């Protein structure tokens, strides 16, 4: 499951100049960094309006946020909450293991 907070949605729409509908943001695992459940990997994101094989997806404010099948290894059995860090002016990512 992917959850996008209101503040994160506003940041993505502003920073990526997303239209009110039809846009997509793809999340993926990337080398270097750290998450609360990954060591040596962090979350990357890119605007990608053409979701081909999403394995996780949610719509928020007309934007499709998703993970495609190539990155299932990074997100498998985890719920992702995307929030906004006002001090850093960037998204923050928090993973919760699925029950």
Q: What is the pLDDT of residue 98?
A: 87
pLDDT attached to residue 35: 67
Give the domain extent around 54: 2-97
Mean pLDDT by 10 residues, the chain (99 residues): 96 91 91 71 90 93 94 91 96 91
Place of tokens 């928090």: 94
pLDDT (0 to 100) of residue 81? 96
Read off the CATH number of the domain in which 7 is found.
2.60.300.12
Total count of domains within the chain: 1
Q: What is the DSSP letter of 98?
A: -
Count CB neighbours of 96 within 10 A.
13
- CB-based contacts of 40: which residues, under 8 Å, 6+ apart? 31, 32, 33, 34
Query: Do the beta carbons of residue 54 and residue 45 sit within 8 Å?
Result: no
> DSSP secondary-structure letter at 3?
E
């Amino acid at each position: 499951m992917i959850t996008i907070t209101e503040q994160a949605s506003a940041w993505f729409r502003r920073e990526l100049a997303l239209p009110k509908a039809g846009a997509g943001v793809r999340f993926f695992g990337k080398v270097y960094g750290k998450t609360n459940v990954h060591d040596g990997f962090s979350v990357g994101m890119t605007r990608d309006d053409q979701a081909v094989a999403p394995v996780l997806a949610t719509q928020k404010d007309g934007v499709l946020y998703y993970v495609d099948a190539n990155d299932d290894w990074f997100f498998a059995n985890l719920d992702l909450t995307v929030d906004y860090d006002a001090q850093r002016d960037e998204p923050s990512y928090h993973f919760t293991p699925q029950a």
